[in-house]
Amino acid sequence: MQISIEKQPAAEVQADALIVPVFEGAKEMRFGAADLVDSGEIAGKSLELTLLHHVPGVAATRVLLAGAGKPEKFTAAELRKLVAAAVRLLRGKSVKKVAFEPDPDHSGTDYVSAAVEGAILGNYEPDRLKTADPKKSLDQFSVVGTGEGVEVAAERGRILAEAQNFTRDLVNEPANLLPPSKMAAAARQMAAEYGLLCEVLEQSQMEALGMGALLGVSQGSAEPPALIVIGYRPAETTSKSHLGLVGKGVTFDTGGISIKPAEGMEKMKYDMAGGAAMIGAIRAIAQLKPPIPVTAFVPCVENMPGSRAQRPGDIVTAMSGKTIEVLNTDAEGRLILADALVYARRQGCTHLVDAATLTGAIVVALGHLNVGLFSNDDAMRDRVLQAAKAEGERMWPMPLEDDYKEYLKSAFADLGNIGGRWGGAITAAMFLKEFAEETPWVHLDIAGTAYLDDAKPFLAKGPTGLPLRTLVRLAMEWRD
């Protein structure tokens, strides 16, 4: 989709549709909204969409009145959803060119970026492999605006949303078409395109490094593992920090020998969503050029119950030297992340964020609305929470106290890979903490938020791309 800026008045813009926000309780109305509000037909409630045709004085063929809710609650995140919902309605009607005019009170650069993001995210449909239905999508989205920084803001929005759709494409790819080797190839290609460093560690290199926890998970599959490393280096930096983004890349999670029930197992293709978000984040970072070095680490494996699969009770040695009793082969994400976190630290990362579809327990705790956030460092936690808030990616802090460590006791090894029945998301995070050690680190459990089971008016069913925008903002706003 083409993104452009229109400098002429909204009423004069040639388009198939002009999107106009309508606020609850607003007195002054433009473009045919006044009559409908007076008659009680529309109220301006959030995401209420009303399509008008041939509005007098408007050059666009249609006007879409887009309910924006209460003006004081209308954040950039709300606008992103609203434009996305509007675009999803219009694309279904074979509309090709859409223009949008922000209202004067909500027209700053954050709003412009959010509108562009909404358009690109809403225009996305995970239908790459459908051959029958004709694909309807918008060709062009224009923001009407003459304010300062509009172009830059629109461009930032485009970069972020296209990176997010790139992540969504990766996540949506079925596991037969995207085993670890293919995920690595996709990362390599992306890195070459955007001038990023890229190295993919193969099995023999991981063996030499002593990544026993990762290799234990991988050994049940005929697909070889891959550890993707992608580096962004700023042209000039005075920063002493180096941000490491570590993402779980389980291209399919059967559970291994501790096998999962059949129902819903098809969704386990999205068990690499954390890794895909890191690859997408660094794609955007390469274009937006923050002042600090950032490296993404994505351990990719397939968790299968093959004849060489690890067994419950097996004891593996992680790269840090710690021994782990694998009490449940389905708690595999933490095993591969353990080695990746240690590797990231050895590569010089001073700060770490990981994202992983790690536990069903986080979905029990927070539902599908909030990412579970865990950290060993208050300042780091606050940085990530602040970035998340600005981006409208909801995250909720969870406890990570030393007392929980007891839950991970093993009779025969340094630690077990599962805790007991309770606090499953916390014990998983506690396990990772053993490998992040003293490095300031945030763990994001995205099992409930990386994937939408049912489409929303503003987002297609399937991968969401979370928490990419938060990570990019974290890097952009980094100060030592």
Q: Which of 418, 432, 468, 475 binds ligand BES (CB under 6 A)?
A: 418
Minimum CB–partner distance for residue 268 and Zn ion (Å): 7
Answer yes or no whether residue 162 interacts with ligand BES by CB under 6 A. no
* Residue at shortest CB range from Zn ion: 253
Q: Which positions from 258 to 277 touch ligand BES by CB under 6 A, shown as an x/- string? A: -------------x------
Which residues lie closer than 8 Å to 242 by C-beta, 6 or more apart? Answer: 292, 293, 294, 295, 348, 349, 350, 351
DSSP per position, 95-134:
--EEEE---GGG-SHHHHHHHHHHHHHHT----TT--SSP
Give the Cα separation of 55 and 49 in Å (integer).
16
Whether 313 contacts 206, CB under 8 Å: no
Encoded one letter per residue, x for contact with Zn ion by CB under 5 A and - for no contact, window 271-310 reads: x---------------------------------------
**Strand locations in 312-468 (E):** 315-317, 323-325, 351-356, 371-375, 395-397, 415-416, 441-445, 451-452, 462-463
Q: Which does 361 bind (CB under 5 to 8 A by kind): ligand BES, Zn ion, Mn ion, none?
A: ligand BES
167, 126 contact by CB (below 8 A): no
Stretch that binds Zn ion, among 18-26, 137-145, 253-261, 378-386 (CB under 5 A): 253-261
- State in angstroms the smallest separation of the CB of 250 from Zn ion: 5
Task: Indicate whether 330 belongs to the interface with ligand BES (CB under 6 A).
Answer: yes
Listed ranges 29-37, 294-302, 353-361, 390-398: which one lies at the site for ligand BES (CB under 6 A): 353-361
- CB nearer to ligand BES: pick between 28 and 453: 453
Should residue 302 be labelled a site residue for Mn ion when binding is judged by CB under 5 A?
no
Query: Which residue among the candidates 80, 156, 182, 334 is catalytic per the annotation?
Result: 334
Ramachandran region, residue 289 (left: φ > 0; alpha: ψ -120 to 50; beta: rest): left
Report the candidate in 192, 186, 142, 147 with the shortest Cα–Cα distance to residue 168.
Answer: 186
Q: What is the DSSP letter of 456?
A: B
Least Cβ distance, residue 428 to ligand BES (angstroms): 7
Any alpha helices (H) in 99-257, and if so which ranges?
109-122, 150-172, 180-193, 203-209, 212-218
Contact flag: residue 463 with Zn ion (CB under 5 A)? no
Closest distance of CB 339 from ligand BES, Å = 16
Q: How far is the CB of 260 from Mn ion (least distance, A)?
A: 7
260 is catalytic: yes
Tell me which DSSP letter residue 459 carries: B
Site string for Mn ion, 249-268 (x = CB under 5 A): ----x---------------
With CB atoms as reference, the residue minimizing the distance to Mn ion is 330
Cβ atoms 291, 273 nearer than 8 A: no
User: Burial, 113: exposed, middle or buried (Cβ in 10 Å; 0-12, 13-18, 19+)?
Assistant: buried
Let me know: does 439 contact 350? Beta carbons within 8 Å.
yes
Phi, psi of 199 (to 5 degrees): -140, 140
Give yes or no for residue 333 binding Zn ion (CB under 5 A): yes
Active site residue 334: yes
Which one of Mn ion, ligand BES, Zn ion, none interacts with residue 391, CB within 5 to 8 A by kind?
none
The residue (of 69 and 333) whose beta carbon lies closer to ligand BES is 333
Residues in the chain: 480
Catalytic residues: 260, 334
Q: Which residues contact Zn ion (rule: CB under 5 A)?
A: 250, 253, 271, 333
Q: Which residues contact ligand BES (rule: CB under 6 A)?
A: 253, 271, 328, 330-333, 357-361, 418, 424, 447
